[in-house]
Amino acid sequence: MTRKKILESLPHVLKTINLPKLGKKYSGKVRDFYILDKSRVIVTTDRQSAFDVILGHIPFKGAVLNQLAAFWFEKTGRIIPNHLISVPDPNVSIAKNCTGIPIEMIVRGYISGVTNTSIWGSYQKGERVIYGIKFPDGLKKNQKLPKPVITPTTHGGGKNGHDERLTEKEILQRKIVTPKIWIQMKTAALELFAFGSKLCKKQGLILVDTKYEFGLDDERRLTLMDEIHTPDSSRFWIAKTYRDRFKKGLELENFDKEFLRLWYAQRGYKGDGKPPEMSEQLIVDLTKRYIAVFEKITGETFQFFNYPIDKRIKNNLKYLYAK
């Protein structure tokens, strides 16, 4: 897709959507949703977030996230049940109305990152017990860990609106979940990460780390929610250049929105204060990257569409209004 086409699409991005016939609208950082008895209508917008802040809007991003998550939900259903029921529109999913568990399960296969909840920053400062996990001396940035680790954080924002670190001990002491559910969450997260890593490797990518969110369905069964292995919830590196660049101490070729985080970090922004405005080139690069990730992982060609998005969504959801 050309730079011109992307910038022409920018005024028409999906910032939010109002569907009053579906009841009250709820909004997260990227998604708007409506609750319909035992299901919910989830609309993935083009809002771009990082550092727990909305930074701008990226053309076609919502459709990429929604369809890529659907791809992974279908592939991983044998590991753990998920909330997806159907995808009636490129930007919309109909899902089970689960009760969310306020823990983000972050699985890391490598020691890296630039955010306040990443492990590299703490390790670089001399910490060796991070998230209650003991790390060996001598690790280098972007090095593969002996085995993947789970570094959970709060979900929904802690102090100052940012996610905060949790340890297994804290989770159980606070009784956020029962010991039985916690074991199920850990087991599922590691199995999902192993499956995702294997599939990504076949496509020439390294799944560096990722975030999973779980909830309980109406029968109290643990259920995978939100999204899975997308550029918003995960970080990917180009596999063929990893070894050489790591040996030389170079930054790795990322294939996700870490590119965005680094752009802001280079300008001194990591989530506090007013963020710098996104440049046109950053928007173009991010649009191309989101689409490229979708095509590389799925092996499918991304289907572009015409605007306006909200009119198309309302038309595709007509059948819900009659219920």
Confidence band for 221, pLDDT divided at 50, 70 and 90: very high
Local confidence band at 39 (pLDDT 50, 70, 90 cut-offs): very high
The continuous run of DSSP H or E covering 129 comes out as strand 129-130
Segment among 83-92, 135-144, 154-163, 182-191 with least mean pLDDT: 154-163
Paired strand residues for 242:
none
Contacts of 14 (CB under 8 A, 6+ apart): 43, 45, 46, 57, 62, 91, 309, 310
Give the phi and the psi of residue 58 in degrees, each rounded to 5: -125, 120
Q: What mean pLDDT comes out for the span 12-19?
A: 95
pLDDT digits (tens, 9 = 90+) for 258-282: 788 889 988 989 888 999 999 999 9
The answer to whether residue 321 scores a pLDDT higher than 90 is no
* Domains in the chain, CATH or no CATH each: 3-321 (3.30.470.20)
Closest alpha carbon to 2 in 277, 290, 285, 309:
285
Tell me the C-alpha distance between 230 and 226, whole Å.
11
For the cut 90, the answer to whether the pLDDT of residue 7 exceeds it is no
Residue among 196, 19, 154, 186 at smallest CA distance from 94: 19
- Name beta bridge partners: 41: 34, 94
**How much of the chain exceeds pLDDT 90, in percent?**
80
> To the nearest whole percent, how much of the chain has pLDDT over 70?
96
Given phi > 0 = left and psi -120 to 50 = alpha, else beta, which region is 214? beta
Q: pLDDT by residue (tens digit) across 160-203?
A: 556 789 999 999 999 999 999 999 999 999 999 999 999 999 99
Query: Are residues 285 and 291 in contact, defined by beta-carbon separation less than 8 angstroms?
Result: no
pLDDT band at 157 (very low <50, low <70, confident <90, very high): low
For 173-203, the DSSP string reads HTTSS-HHHHHHHHHHHHHHHHHHHHHHHHT
Does the pLDDT at position 233 exceed 80?
yes
**Number of helices and strands in the chain (H, E):** 10, 15
pLDDT-derived band of residue 156, with 50, 70 and 90 as boundaries?
low
Q: What pLDDT, on a 0 to 100 scale, did the predictor assign at position 15?
A: 96
pLDDT on residue 255: 82
Mean residue pLDDT of the chain comes to: 92
Instruction: Choose between 14 and 11: higher pLDDT.
Output: 14
pLDDT at 105 over 90: yes
**pLDDT value at position 161?**
54
Give the model's confidence band at 63: pLDDT under 50 very low, under 70 low, under 90 confident, else very high. Answer: very high
pLDDT at 51: 84
Handedness of CA 239, 240, 246, 250 (dihedral sign): negative
Exposure letters 113-143 (e unless 16+ CB within 10 A, then b): bbbbbbbbbbbeeeeeebbeeebeeebebbe
* pLDDT recorded at residue 228: 98
The token pair at 202 is 């076949």
Q: Is the pTM of this model over 0.85?
A: yes
